[in-house]
Structure 1
């Protein structure tokens, strides 16, 4: 694999983001530029296999440590992490690199941002490929209230709403935290304890505190790779990343300005959804509504795969996205 690059520190939208680049200059490529958007609790490094493959295929590729993560700035205040701020960061990166439109690929929270780009900055998007988290219809009620009603007070997103309450738990031992998060199903089969939360309550933090014997599954990354994550989170900690969750309600309210007849407008851009059948946090069934929300739309279901798809099944993910891009952007 190509050596992981040194980040370029790029000013955008009032912050400076660390952006990792591979491949030719955008103007020299002749192929669409591709931006990879990481999720929680990850960093740009999670896309290392995709960056290498797409750069070798002749694409100009970019992945930022997004606002609050890794080497990038983590401004103070929950209001600094709204969907408007996060999408404006990407608009600024496109402007900085002189790119009119790009293909965006997102995983987990990166996919949540990805699926909002056709509404927040449609003029800058060629196509969207999402992993594990789909484009969802507008929630019928405040999502945090909905999560609380469905899963209770211990559900991790509900617990995240109290600023300062969860950060010490996650920051106590960063290597241990990432050994907990970055796991895969043991032998490709989900058993009762093979997921990083309890199924009924999604008490992710409670399970972390129980210790490794209770976690189930098996580690996805080596000690060396896990240490990359731990080192990255020493700079900013977890407050900025968790602030993304603390904007669920504000983002839901802001999304209402895009609604047409109470629904999100149809997305008329090439869209690819990649699900993983052993991802209990985001099971494939939650993507079923997308077929009626996007055109042209394609879906691929990875069998025997957990939540961290682009690392667990890098070759399959790379092939799926490249095949999709060749058909729509060649």
Structure 2
């Protein structure tokens, strides 16, 4: 059986990053989302290694064993893309295939957009590429979803981390279940006077793809870092919009694959955002829809995700 090993790598971005890795061969960089860490790619690390690739899953800036700076403005999209580029450079194995899920998807899409010379191909999971909007995103979220939208709740200082850090096992249990394909549809709206976890029900029984050992693993990985770093990604949404003006509606040119669950609330009611991706991801080879799958694609449906990723990778040559 392939072994997953761990080490720290000094990214040329200046961040000391913890990585989990397996296998030898062409580099596939796996970028996790919120609230996750390298562990969300546990099934892909071994599958990609067995297929002949060097799979590397870092804890991204602010997360788990990597940690990060305290200043909010150090979590902009340019810092996050810089970490990915710096890790590829430090590993000395570029150009790389860059895959990202949830928040990792915009980082992967952005890396392919800004540094196509270092990106052999890009794989997005759950979050489609969206071209830069004509106005800052916070105002748009407020108009479309109201002040209760969870991304607006996360803008508050200290309040979200106090809630999420209170009982981390409960946080992961609720969050991972709430937007999965096993849970009822979720509007992701914080009730007035409530918190993020108030719209995340606690399951009576965990779904088959999630175990108590998995939850314990996330709790262990977060024991030294907590949630402030991850939440700071959300606190840069308008700053990211300002910083990326030079790439407004710029195309993404490397070969691309997109994988998404048809019960993912990110795309619920927004199928057009997926169908129109080819307008800007100009070499989109395939979009794979996973019936009955929610937001945690590579954890909920590891077999199908592995097959889609490896098939796409083999087709690159």
- Cα pair distance change 1:185/1:72, threshold 3 Å: closer
**How many angstroms apart in 2 are the aligned matches of 1:181 and 1:271?**
28
SS at match of 2:287: strand
Pair 268,68 (structure 1): closer, same or farther in 2 beyond 3 Å? same
CA contact (8 A) 1:37 1:63 kept: yes
* 1:180 has 2:174 as partner: yes
The whole-number CA distance in structure 1 between the counterparts of 2:227 and 2:99 is 23
Q: Which residue pairs with 1:77 in the alignment?
A: 71
Corresponding residue for 1:273?
258
The answer for the alignment partner of 1:123 in structure 2 is 117
Tell me the alpha carbon deviations over residues 137-170 of structure 1, each in whole angstroms, 9 at most, x when there is no partner.
2112211111111112121100111221211000
Aligned pair partner of 2:299 in 311, 319, 330: 311
Please, what TM-score do these two structures have when normalized by structure 1? 0.88
Match of residue 197, structure 2, among 205, 208, 212: 208
User: Gapped runs of 5+ residues in structure 2?
Assistant: none
Q: Is the 8 A contact 1:101 1:125 kept in 2?
A: yes
Task: Check whether the contact 2:2–2:50 (CA below 8 A) recurs between aligned residues.
Answer: no
1-structure distance, mates of 2:263, 2:200: 22
Answering whether residue 128 of structure 2 is matched by residue 134 of structure 1, we say yes
Output aligned runs, 1:1-330, within 5 Å.
Answer: 2-24=2-24, 29=25, 32-183=26-177, 194-195=184-185, 197=186, 199=187, 201=189, 206=195, 208-209=197-198, 212=201, 218-219=206-207, 220-259=209-248, 264-283=249-268, 285=271, 286-297=273-284, 298-328=286-316, 330=317
With the length of structure 2 as denominator, give the TM-score of the two structures. Answer: 0.91
How far has the Cα of 1:207 moved from its partner? Answer: 5.7
Instruction: Map Cα deviations across residues 56-93 of structure 1 (whole Å, 9 max, x no partner).
Output: 11111111000100100321111110111111111211
Closer/same/farther in 2, CA of residues 172 and 272 from structure 1, 3 Å limit: same
Paired residues of 1:161 and 1:245 also in contact (CA < 8 A): yes
Moved more, 7-16 or 268-277: 7-16
Gaps of 5+ in 1: none
Paired residue secondary structure (2:63): coil
Q: How many residues align?
A: 312
3-state SS in 1 of match to 2:56 = strand
Could you give the per-residue CA deviations for residues 83-140 of structure 1, whole angstroms, max 9, x where no partner exists?
1111111121112111230001110000011111123222110111100101102112
Deviation at 1:206, TM superposition (A): 3.2
Distance (Å, rounded) in 2 between the aligned partners of 1:157 and 1:134: 17
